[in-house]
Amino acid sequence: MGADAELVIEMRDVDKSFGSVHALNKLNLQVRRGEVHGFLGPNGAGKSTAIRVLLGLLHADAGRSRLLGGDPWTDAVSLHRRLAYVPGDVTLWPSLTGGEVIDLLTSLRSGRGAPTNAGRRDELIERFQLDPKRKCRTYSKGNRQKVAIIAALASEVELLVLDEPTSGLDPLMEAVFQQCIRQAVGSGSTVLLSSHILSEVESLGDRVSIIAGGTVVESGTLAQLRHLTRTSVQAQLDRVPAGLSELPGVHDLRVEHTRVSLSVDSNELGKVLAALTSAGVQTLTSRPPTLEELFLRHYDQPGDPAPSPSADQQ
Amino acid sequence: MSTAAAPSSDVDRSSAGLGILPLAGFAALYRFGLRRERLPLLAWTYGIVASVAATVVAFRNLYPNPAERAQFAESLRGNPVFTVITGPIWSSSIGGLTAWRMGLLGSALAALAGIFTVVRRTRSEEESGRAELLASTPIGRGAALAAALACAGTALVGIGVLVAVVCVVGGEPLGGSALLGAVIAASGLVFAGLAAVTAQVFDSARSAMGAAGALLGLSFAIRGVADSGSSGPQWLRWLSPLGWAEEVRAFADNRVWVVALTVALAVALVAVAVALLAHRDVGLSLLPARPGPATGRLRSVPGLVVRSLRGTAIAWCLALLAYGAVNGAIVDSADGLLSGSAGMREALTQLGGADVLTQAVLSAVGTVTGLLAAIAAISVVGRLAAEESNGRAELLLSTAVTRFRLQSGYLVPMLLIPAAALTLSGLACGLVHGIRTDGAFGPAFRAGLQAMMVQIPVTWTFGALAALVHALRPSWWPAIWAVFAGCVLLTMIGPSLQLPQWLLDVSPLTHVTGPAVTQIPWTAVGVLLVMTAALLAVAVVGFRRRDVLSR
Ligand SMILES: Nc1ncnc2c1ncn2[C@@H]1O[C@H](COP(=O)(O)OP(=O)(O)OP(=O)(O)O)[C@@H](O)[C@H]1O
Ligand SMILES: [Mg+2]
C-alpha cells in the first residue's frame, strides 16, 4: 500500500451504533486517489451510515476517519467544497424547479454564492434529458435522482460520494451515468460508489469493498477478488489421475468412472489443469467465478465476517 | 412519491363517479390508524377530560353556595378581559361555570385533535409515499379518508362521552352535561371535516394543517370580537363554529339544535372532501403545478428559507394586522359597560376609572394575539425540523453549509416573523383605538401598540424553546406543542382554579399578562429576553454536536 497521502478516504476501526443497533463495527475502508471504489453489501450492512460518517453528518463513536486529508467532523465545511454527494433517496424542494435546485446546490457547494460552469451544467442537463423547468414535486423518482446527479457532476470536484446514485435510472440513463463517471475520473476525480448493481460496479470499479454487518469483509481489485473464489471444473478423462484430492485448493471432488467434477481455488487452477491434462482429457468445461457468486457468499451471511484475508494486506 | 397515479384510480374515477368512493380495506386501515395515533389521542383525551374534571372540582370547592357563584359570575360578565378569551357566562351554576371555562377551550382543543389526526392519517401518509404503497393494494380510494375520519370521530365521541360522565359524576344535571360533551365533540368533528378538505386541496401536510389551523384561529378570534362586551357585535358569533359552541348554552338554555347544526356542518365538510377526493390523483393536489424557470437565482440558505417562508410570513402579518385593527375597534366599547353595573363602576373608579378597564381589555386581546404569534414562531422552527426529517437538510449539509448557517437560517425568521406581525398588529390596534378616542398618535395609540409588542419576548421564548427541543431531542418535537398548550391552559384557567403562583409562573405568558398596559413590565421582558438568548445558545451548540437525521 502506498503512502497515506494517496488515500482520499481512510476509515480505521470506525464504530457507530444507533441505540442497540450496531450499524458500523470496526469498519476499515481505504479509497485511493483517482480510483472508482465500489462499495457493496446487503441491505442494512452499513453503507449509507459509513458515507454519512464521512460527510460529517454522523459522529462516529470510535475509530479514526480521514477524508481528503482532513477530519470529516471538524473540517466538514472546507472538505465539502471539494466533494459532491448524491443520496440514494433524493428529496427535493417541491416548489422549486429542477434547474433552480441544481443552481442552488452548486452555489452552496462552491461556498462562493455562484454556481459553477453554466456550460457544463447545460451539457449535463442535455445528456441526462432532464426538463429543468419542471417543479420538483412533479418529477418521477428517476428524474429526482438525475437532478442530484447533475448537481454533483456539474461541480467538478475532487471526490464524488455516490450512495446508490442510479436507483431509478433507466438503462439508457445508466449508460450516460457511467460515461460521465469515466469522464470525471479521467479528469482526476475519485469516486466512492455504493451500489447494488453489480454490472455497474464491474464496469466502473477499480477496486471494491464488500461490507456486511458493519464490517468490511473483502476489499481489493476485482481481479484479486476473483482469485478468492473457486472455479468449477468438469472433465471427461481417459483415466482418473491419482492424488487428485491431495492437490492444494481442490474441493468438492466427485468421481464417477472417468467423469470428474471439482471446484478449485482460482489461484491453484494451473496445477489441477496440468494433472487433468496428463490423464488425457476428452471433454472439459470450466466456469470462471462470477462476481455474483462472490457477493452472494457474503450476502448470505450478513454480520458474519468471512475469515478470508483482505486483498489489501497481501 | 411518484407523480403517476395508479392506473386503477382512473378506472375508479370513471366507474364510481362523484361522491361514491370504494371503501374496501376500511376496517384494517381504521384499526391501523387507531394504533398509530393511540398516544396522541390518549393525550388529547386526558388533557380535555382532566381539565373539565379539575374545573368542576375547583368551582365546587371555591364557590360552594349559589350566592357566591352568582356574584362571581356577575363580576365576570361585565369583564371583557375574561370573556374575550373564555366566552360568555350563560349560567352561574357549577355546570354553567364549567361550561364557560371549558366549553370553548375544550372545543378548540378537540378541534386541534381532529385536525392533527385527520391530516396525519391522510396527507402526511401520501406525502411520505406510504399511502401509494397502500393504494396499490386492494384498498378503496376512499378508505384512507374514511378511516382517518373514523379515527378522529372515535376519539372525539369518546372525549364527549367522558366529559359528560365527568360532569354527571360531579353532580351536574344530565342534560347540560351531555350537551357540554356533545358540543366539544361536535366542534372537533367540524374541524376534522375541515382538515379533510384542506388535506385534499394542499399537497403538503404542513400546508393542510396550517390552513385548517389558521381557520381555527380565525374562528377563535371572530368570536372573541363578539364576546368583547355586552355591546359587542353578538351576531359575529354565528360566523364562527366556535361561536356556535358558545351558543349551545349548556346548563342554561341547552340548545340541542345548535349542536345538530354543528354536526350538520361537519357532515357537509366531509361531503366536500369526498367530492374533492374523487377528482384528484393519489399524492397530488387539486392545484396543478406550472412550469418555472430553468435557472435559479437562489444562491444561499437564507435565500432558500425566504423563498419557502415568505408566503407564510405575509399571511401571518396580514392576519394579525387585521386582527389588531378589529381589536382596536372593540376596546373602547368596554367603556360602555360602566353604565351597566353600578357596583362595578364604583370599584373601577376607585382603581383609576374607565382607563383601567380599557387597558385590561387591551391586555387580554394582546395575550390572544401573542398566542397566535407564538404559534408562528414555533412553526417556523417546525419547518427546520421537517427539513431535516425529510432528508433535505442532509443534502444541504453535504455542501459547504455549516450547521449554524442552516439553523440560523430558520432561527432569524423565527424571531422576525412574530416580531413583525405583532408590531403591525399593535400599530393597527393603536391607530384604530386612537382615532376612536384621543387622536391618532396619542396615549391610546401607545397603549394599543404596547399591548401587542410586549408579547414579542413571549413568542421568542416559545420559539427558542422549540429550537432547543429540535437541537437536543428532535424525536421529541411534538412535545413542544404539548408544552405550549400546557402553558396556555395554565395562564388561562390557572388563576380561576387558584393554582399556586409558582406553577402559574412556569408559563412565560403569565409574566407579561397583567391589567396595566401603560407600564411595560421591564423586569419580565428582561428575564424573557435573557431566557431566549440562553435557550438559543444551547440550541446552537447542541445542533452542532448531534447526528443529522436522515430519511
Ligand atoms: N438513524 C438510525 N437509527 C437507527 N438505526 C439506524 C439509523 N440509520 C441506520 N440505522 C441502522 O443501521 C444499519 C445500517 O444502515 P445503512 O442505512 O447504513 O445500511 P445500507 O448498507 O445503506 O443499506 P441499504 O443497502 O438498504 O441502503 C441498519 O440496520 C439500519 O437499520
Ligand atoms: Mg443505504
CATH of the domain at A164: 3.40.50.300
Radius of gyration for the alpha carbons in chain A, expressed in angstroms and rounded: 23
User: Could you identify the atom of ligand 1 that is nearest to the CA of residue A88?
Assistant: 27
Q: What pLDDT shows up at residue B17?
A: 34
Does residue A126 belong to any structural domain of this protein? yes
Q: What are the strands of the beta sheet with A62-67, ordered from one edge? A: A21-32, A7-18, A62-67
Kindly tell me the burial class for residue A6, based on how many C-beta atoms sit within 10 Å of its own C-beta (0-12, 13-18, 19 or more). middle
Q: Which of B299, B303, B551 has the CB atom closest to A89's CB atom?
A: B551
Closest CA to B428 of B311, B313, B320: B320
Residue B359: phi and psi, rounded to 5, are -65, -40
Q: What pLDDT shows up at residue B403?
A: 94
CB atoms within 10 A of CB B485: 17
> Which ligand has the nearest atom to the CA of B550?
1
Does residue A306 belong to any structural domain of this protein? no
Q: Which of A220, A243, A266 is the last residue of a domain?
A: A220
Closest CA to A52 of A192, A168, A208, A167: A192
Cβ–Cβ gap B547/A58 under 8 Å: yes
Residues A254, A205, single domain; the answer is: no
DSSP reduced 3-state for B69 = helix
pLDDT band at B128 (very low <50, low <70, confident <90, very high): confident
pLDDT band at A305 (very low <50, low <70, confident <90, very high): very low
CB atoms within 10 A of CB B80: 27
Average pLDDT of span B131-140: 70
* Of A181-185, A224-228, B297-301, the least confident: A224-228
The interaxial angle of helices B143-169 and B94-121, nearest 10 deg, is 160
Does residue A155 belong to any structural domain of this protein? yes
pLDDT band at B85 (very low <50, low <70, confident <90, very high): confident
Cβ contacts (< 8 Å) between B474 and chain A: which residues? Answer: none
pLDDT digits (tens, 9 = 90+) for A73-128: 999 999 999 999 999 888 899 889 999 999 999 999 887 666 667 889 999 999 99
Q: Longest C-alpha distance within chain A, in Å?
A: 77
Residues A139, A266, single domain; the answer is: no
Does residue A310 belong to any structural domain of this protein? no
User: Rounded to the nearest whole angstrom, what is the distance from the C-alpha of residue A21 to the centroid of ligand 1?
Assistant: 9
pLDDT digits (tens, 9 = 90+) for B19-60: 457 777 888 889 999 998 998 899 899 989 998 998 898 888
A43 lines ligand 1 (CB under 6 A): yes
pLDDT band at B285 (very low <50, low <70, confident <90, very high): low
Place of cell 366507474: B15
Rounded CA-CA distance B201/B122 in Å is 12
Our measurement of the distance from residue B38's CA atom to the centroid of its chain's CA atoms, rounded to an integer in Å, reads 21
DSSP code at position A289: P
Average pLDDT of span B506-529: 75
Residue B489 identity: L
Long-range contacts from B169-174, C-beta under 8 angstroms, 24+ separation = B170/B53, B170/B56, B170/B57, B170/B60, B170/B94, B171/B60, B171/B94, B172/B56, B172/B93, B172/B94, B172/B95, B172/B98, B172/B251, B173/B95, B173/B251
Closest CA to B485 of B45, B99, B38, B47: B47
The alpha carbon dihedral of B539, A112, A97, A54 has a sign of negative
Q: What pLDDT shows up at residue B135?
A: 64
Place of cell 368583547: B228
Nearest-CA residue for ligand 1 atom 25 is A43
Cβ contacts (< 8 Å) between B307 and chain A: which residues? Answer: 95-96
- For residue B530, the distance in angstroms to the closest alpha carbon of chain A comes to 30
Residues A112, A249, single domain; the answer is: no
Share of chain A above pLDDT 70, in %: 88
A142 lines ligand 1 (CB under 6 A): no
> Which ligand has the nearest atom to the CA of A45?
1
Q: What pLDDT shows up at residue B13?
A: 40
Average pLDDT of span A171-194: 94
CB atoms within 10 A of CB B203: 22
Residues A92, A145, single domain; the answer is: yes
Q: Which of A178, A197, A220 is the last residue of a domain?
A: A220
CB-based burial, B264-281: b 16+ in 10 Å, e otherwise: ebbeebbeebbebbbebe
Rounded CA-CA distance B84/B61 in Å is 25
Residues A159, A265, single domain; the answer is: no
- Residue A65, strand partner residues: A11
CB B429 within 8 A of CB B321: no
- Residue A10, strand partner residues: A30, A66
Q: What pLDDT shows up at residue A269?
A: 83
pLDDT band at A306 (very low <50, low <70, confident <90, very high): very low
Share of chain B above pLDDT 90, in %: 44
Cβ contacts (< 8 Å) between A139 and chain B: which residues? Answer: 3
B296 interface with A at CB cutoff 8 Å: yes
Q: What pLDDT shows up at residue A112?
A: 67
Q: Output the pTM of the full model.
A: 0.75
Q: Which of A198, A220, A242 is the last residue of a domain?
A: A220
Cα pseudo-dihedral A43, A45, A48, A53, rounded to 10:
170
Rounded CA-CA distance B28/B31 in Å is 5
Rounded CA-CA distance B453/B64 in Å is 40
Place of cell 442530484: A148
The residue ranking higher by pLDDT, B85 or B185, is: B185
Rounded CA-CA distance B144/B140 in Å is 8
Sequence-distant (≥ 6) Cβ neighbours of residue B508 within 8 angstroms: B457, B458, B461, B462, B487, B528, B531
Rounded CA-CA distance B23/B11 in Å is 15
A20 lines ligand 1 (CB under 6 A): no
User: Could you identify the atom of ligand 1 that is nearest to the CA of residue A46?
Assistant: 18
Kindly tell me the burial class for residue A223, based on how many C-beta atoms sit within 10 Å of its own C-beta (0-12, 13-18, 19 or more). exposed
The residue ranking higher by pLDDT, B229 or B103, is: B103
Cβ–Cβ gap A97/B291 under 8 Å: yes
Does residue A1 belong to any structural domain of this protein? no
CB-based burial, A130-147: b 16+ in 10 Å, e otherwise: bebebbbbbbebbbbbbb
Closest CA to B95 of B179, B184, B176: B176
Q: Which of residues 161-220 of A touch B (CB under 8 A)?
A: 161
Residues A206, A234, single domain; the answer is: no
Place of cell 399578562: B513
Residues A34, A93, single domain; the answer is: yes
Cβ–Cβ gap A80/B399 under 8 Å: yes
Q: What pLDDT shows up at residue B354?
A: 58
Cβ–Cβ gap A100/B289 under 8 Å: no
Does residue A50 belong to any structural domain of this protein? yes
Residue B104 identity: L
CATH for A283: 3.30.70
Q: Which of A59, A100, A138 has the CB atom closest to B547's CB atom?
A: A59
A146 interface with B at CB cutoff 8 Å: no
DSSP code at position B177: H
Cβ–Cβ gap A100/B390 under 8 Å: no
Nearest-CA residue for ligand 1 atom 14 is A46
Count residue pairs from A and B with Cβ separation < 8 A.
132
Instruction: Report whether pLDDT(A266) > 90.
Output: no
- For residue A16, the distance in angstroms to the closest alpha carbon of chain B comes to 11
- Average per-residue pLDDT for chain B: 84
Q: What pLDDT shows up at residue B282?
A: 62
Domain, as residue range, for A257: 228-300
Average pLDDT of span A28-56: 93
The residue ranking higher by pLDDT, B375 or A198, is: B375
User: Rounded to the nearest whole angstrom, what is the distance from the C-alpha of residue B127 to the centroid of ligand 1?
Assistant: 22
Polymer length of chain B: 551
Cβ–Cβ gap A100/B298 under 8 Å: yes
Residues A91, A212, single domain; the answer is: yes
A82 interface with B at CB cutoff 8 Å: no
- Average per-residue pLDDT for chain A: 85
The residue ranking higher by pLDDT, B339 or B77, is: B77
pLDDT band at B232 (very low <50, low <70, confident <90, very high): low
Residues A162, A47, single domain; the answer is: yes
CB B196 within 8 A of CB B269: yes
Q: What pLDDT shows up at residue A59?
A: 93
C-alpha cell at B71: 356574584
Instruction: Report whether pLDDT(B15) > 50.
Output: no
Pick from A37-51, A91-105, B412-426 the range whose average pLDDT is largest.
Answer: B412-426
Residues A96, A149, single domain; the answer is: yes
A44 lines ligand 1 (CB under 6 A): yes
Q: Which of A92, A109, A140 has the CB atom closest to B3's CB atom?
A: A140
A143 lines ligand 1 (CB under 6 A): no
CA-CA distances (angstroms) from residue A96 to A68, B59, B343?
A: 32, 55, 63
CB B133 within 8 A of CB B107: no
Tell me the H-state helices in B507-546. 508-512, 522-545
Q: What pLDDT shows up at residue B517?
A: 57
CA-CA distances (angstroms) from residue A267 to A103, A205, A248, B126?
A: 51, 22, 10, 54
- For residue A103, the distance in angstroms to the closest alpha carbon of chain B comes to 6
Does residue A312 belong to any structural domain of this protein? no
Residues A135, A26, single domain; the answer is: yes
A56 lines ligand 1 (CB under 6 A): no
Write down the ipTM of this complex.
0.80
The number of domains in chain A is 2
User: Rounded to the nearest whole angstrom, what is the distance from the C-alpha of residue A23 to the centroid of ligand 1?
Assistant: 6
Radius of gyration for the alpha carbons in chain B, expressed in angstroms and rounded: 24
Residues A169, A213, single domain; the answer is: yes
Does residue A113 belong to any structural domain of this protein? yes
Q: What pLDDT shows up at residue B288?
A: 60
Q: What pLDDT shows up at residue B293?
A: 84
A213 lines ligand 1 (CB under 6 A): no
